[in-house]
Structure formats: structure tokens, C-alpha cells
Amino acid sequence: MKSEKKIFSMQWHLTDSCDQACKHCYIYQNADYLKSEKKELNLDEAILVVDDFLSFCEKMKCEPRLSITGGDPLLYKNIWKILSYIFSKGIRFSILGNPFHLTDEVCSKLKELGCVSYQMSLDGLRETHDSIRKKGSFDATLEKIPMLKKAGMRTTIMTTVSKLNYLDIPDLIEIVVENKVDTYAFARYCPTPGDDTKESSMTPEEYKNFLQNVWNVYERLADKGTTFSLKDHLWTLFLYEKGLISIGDSKSIVAGCNCGFRHITLLPDGTMYACRRFTSPIGNVRNEKIISIFFSKKMEEYRTIEKMSGCADCNLLNYCRGCHAVSFGTYGSYFEKDPQCWKK
């Protein structure tokens, strides 16, 4: 029996143009990046990226996946041409975007070009969300869910969780389910090194209790049609301690963060990051092939999981590893212990 190929994903930020200025957004946290005159890849360069990514995945014997995002990817001037090219190459892709430029026509066109799903964000209940993103954003997001579903696309709602909004999340999940969203997930806020994290970051105990409260809601709503993605890798620790999952004695990576392994991020100017959630430049596709970047010394550093404080001696090393982007934002080092991990 032929085994399925492993998936290799690239998160591709086509543009930094956006209608919002979200408080937690990594684009707006990096003033140097905004002030610079780095320009977006033109259409010819973007097409070369698609071809190079396909070639890379063939050599890696992996199935290519693209997450097209921004900014708002719909504001990229060559969006329809590059999506058409991606579609012609048979690459599955999803869009991570905003609700503001979605119309029936746009949704139908995205579906025709093979868009599998469209992800939008809700970062709390109406007042909280709009204070973080933009007034009217909460209602606009909910209004576009039926439009996307009518076009035949799956819908995903994503939340960036912090101490500012975590109390909203159980009630928010109820709203997401009521609106028949296909998938719901959340990830933790990643601070910028040097930030005062007291107001934004939860303690390990607070985060563990938060996961328990969310898990209670997930269990109660399990048969309502929404898939609850356990995106945060500390779910592995949570479920392991509850006896809901077991682990083997594998000496190789089984699960956990894909940084350095089966994921890369491409910025609008061609800079490649190991992960977009923290400053991790490893090369630029304007002058290097993806395979050279992936096997560079810089990228190899992110694969040395034995250097991860708090993880190296843990029995969940090959299954969890938490989120070291949060470690980087909190302590300035990728290899420090996940600040919300409660395991002693």
C-alpha cells in the first residue's frame, strides 16, 4: 500500500497592506520593517517562488500546501494572477485574511481558483475584538461567514489569546458554533522582546486553567458541527496529564511545532523566516533557492531541539515542545522554556 506523503506548508505573506492595525500584529510591532522600503515580489518573482516551492517539495517527497496571507492578501495587486497560477499547478491553498473586501463575486472567484478555506479572526467578544482590531470588525467578520459558505468554502475562525481577552473565549466559542463555522482555533499572543508582558501574558497556572475551561466548552459542543483544532502544542501536555492521550518511546519527531521541520514563512519582500511569529530570517528567495535556505546553518539551528530549556529532558520532547516563538518574545531566546508551560 502506497504511503501518503507528508505535508510541507509555506505561509506566504503576499503584502503588508491591511485595513486594520491590530494591537498584537507582528507587522506593526516591527517599526524597522514598516519604515524600510522593501518591496513586494512582482508577479514574475511570485511565479518563480511557486515553481521553486514545487521543486523543493518534490525533492523532499512532500505534498505542498500554501497558506496565503498578508496583511490582507486580497490587497496584493497581483492576487488573482498568482492564485490562478497556483491553481494551475495543482497546489492546495487556503487564505488567511480579513472580511472587508469579501463579496459574493470575490468568494465565488476564490472557490473557482481552488481556495480550500478562508480564515478570519475574532479576538474576543464585540467590544474586546473591536478594541484590538477595528470598530465594526466583529460584526463584519460574522456577516461574511454565510457568504463564504454559500460559495462552498470552509470557514475558520482564529483567535490570538492573551491576558487581555482570555475570559471572553468560552462565550466566543459559543458564538462561533452558533454561526456554523467549520473550524475554530487559537494561538497565544507573541510579545516582542523587551515588551512588558505583565498585562498581556498569562502565568502557567492561568493558562492551564484557561485550557481546562475551553476544554469543557469543547466537550459540551463536540457534536454541533464545528471542529476544534488543538493548535497550541501545550494541548498535548494538557491531554497527556488528563490521560486522554498516550505517548510511545519514539526517538524522532512525532508531533509538536513544525518550525525547522515542515514549515517555512515567506515575507512580501522575499525574506524567508523559520516562523512568522518571531524574528527568524534565514534567507531570501530573490537570491537563493528554497532548498538551500531550508538546509542552511541558520535553519539547522532551529532543528536542535535538544537545546530547548525545559523540553530537552522532558518525555514529551518529540510530541510537544510548546511554543518557542513565545519564548523568544518573552525572554529574547528561542531556546528558553515556554513561559506558559506548567510542567515541572
User: Which pLDDT does position 38 carry in this prediction?
Assistant: 58
Place of cell 501574558: 201
**Residue 3 reports pLDDT greater than 60:** no
The residue among 94, 4, 96, 10 whose CA lies nearest residue 54 is 10
Please report the DSSP string for 214-244 in residue order.
HHHHHHHTTTSS-EE---STHHHHHHHHTTS
Which residue did the predictor score with more confidence, 251 or 112? 112
Helix (H, G, I), strand (E, B) or coil at 293: helix
Of the listed ranges 19-23, 54-58, 310-314, the least confidently predicted one is 19-23
User: Which pLDDT does position 196 carry in this prediction?
Assistant: 67
User: Which pLDDT does position 145 carry in this prediction?
Assistant: 98
User: Which pLDDT does position 37 carry in this prediction?
Assistant: 41
Question: If pLDDT is split at 50, 70 and 90, which confidence band does 36 have?
Answer: very low
**Residue 313 reports pLDDT greater than 80:** yes
Q: What is Dmax (Cα atoms) for the chain? A: 54
The model's pTM is 0.92
